[in-house]
Amino acid sequence: SIIIFIVRGEPQNAIVSRTIEVDYSKLADEAEIHKYNILNFLNETRVQKMYKTLFEKLLQKLIAYSTKTNTRRDSTRRIVSGVNTSIAAVPWQVSLREKTYPICGGSVITSIWLLSAAHCLLRSKASELSVRLGSSWKTHGGEMYDVKETYVHPKYARNTKVNDVGLIQLYSPLRFSPRVLPIGIVAKETRLPANQAAIVSGWGKLRESGPSATFLQSSTIKTIAMKLCRHSGLDRNPIDPSSMFCAGSFSQPSPDACQGDSGGPIVSEGLLIGVVSWGLGCARGNFPGVYTRLSNPVI
């Protein structure tokens, strides 16, 4: 899963000093100006190139950090697959909360609409939900917003998690900044090739049945061919190719999303390509993570 082990009692400033950052300030200024026409803004070729460039910067930083830490012997702090990541590097990241308790992730897509997983929105009334935005920390910082309404995809199937996506509506528009920014969604029917690099982020469990992250984590991950995904250990749960895709490793443990990351973003080339949906355990070999395919025309 998205994992980092931190020495208990380690000062916050020590954690922040090892945090990966990317600067979205120029995009944030433009997004705020175009707030009420944000979808057209996000679809501009020039803007998508800017998002892609910043995505590639983060990707390279994550790869470099992982390479460096994997060769370092450290008995007290060992990064397995995830990295402390500033919210400024993934400013669309949302923490969805039930009566202030974090339950899922999500993504900012406009000034009043957020995207998450359908299964995250079924357990609570909208009046019991809130979101924290703009903070790398799960428990404090940024700003809290009350949720006005939630909408589960009308064709969501609870048993199979087909079309596992939903919308969250806020009462008032967000003010965009380098720490709170929408992300464009992949175009409908866009082909998602195997072995494509992506970044997944969240505050979910650091390992299967383990503690949750307190500081935002992100990790590089690669998409998996559907043929391999359907023949992996996931075959006991049917994979729907039209509404799902897999990412992680088919043959060995690898970076993965885990409990608490559900509903959060998986981003590739600067676009939101999926939503963390389900899996069997976390980061197990032969059990890749499953994500909602946002290029599905039905979605």
Q: 4-43 pLDDT, tens per residue?
A: 333 334 455 555 556 888 999 999 999 999 999 999 999 9
Q: How confident is the model at residue 236 (pLDDT cuts 50, 70, 90)?
A: low
The residues that are catalytic are 119, 164, 262
Q: What is the pLDDT of residue 66?
A: 75
Q: Do domains 88-170 and 184-293 have the same CATH topology?
A: yes
Q: Which fold has domain 88-170?
A: Thrombin, subunit H (2.40.10)
Span 114-168, pLDDT tens digits? 999 999 999 899 999 999 999 999 999 999 999 999 999 999 999 999 999 999 9
Q: Whole-prediction pTM value?
A: 0.87
Q: How far apart are the C-alpha atoms of 183 and 112, rounded to whole Å?
A: 13
Averaged pLDDT, 222-230: 88
User: Percentage of the chain surpassing pLDDT 90?
Assistant: 66
Decide if pLDDT at 183 tops 80: yes
The pair of structure tokens assigned to 125 is 């009334």
Q: What is the pLDDT of residue 1?
A: 38
Decide if pLDDT at 72 tops 50: no
Class of 184-293 in CATH: mainly beta
Which run of H or of E encompasses 116? strand 113-116
Q: What is the pLDDT of residue 213?
A: 80
**Domain extents in the chain:** 24-66, 88-170, 184-293
Q: What is the pLDDT of residue 79?
A: 24
With a CB cutoff of 8 Å and minimum separation 6, the contacts of 293 are 192, 242, 243, 244, 245, 273, 274, 299
Closest CA to 147 of 178, 114, 175: 114
For the chain, give the mean pLDDT. Answer: 84
Averaged pLDDT, 57-84: 64
Instruction: List residues bridging with 198 in a β-sheet.
Output: 221
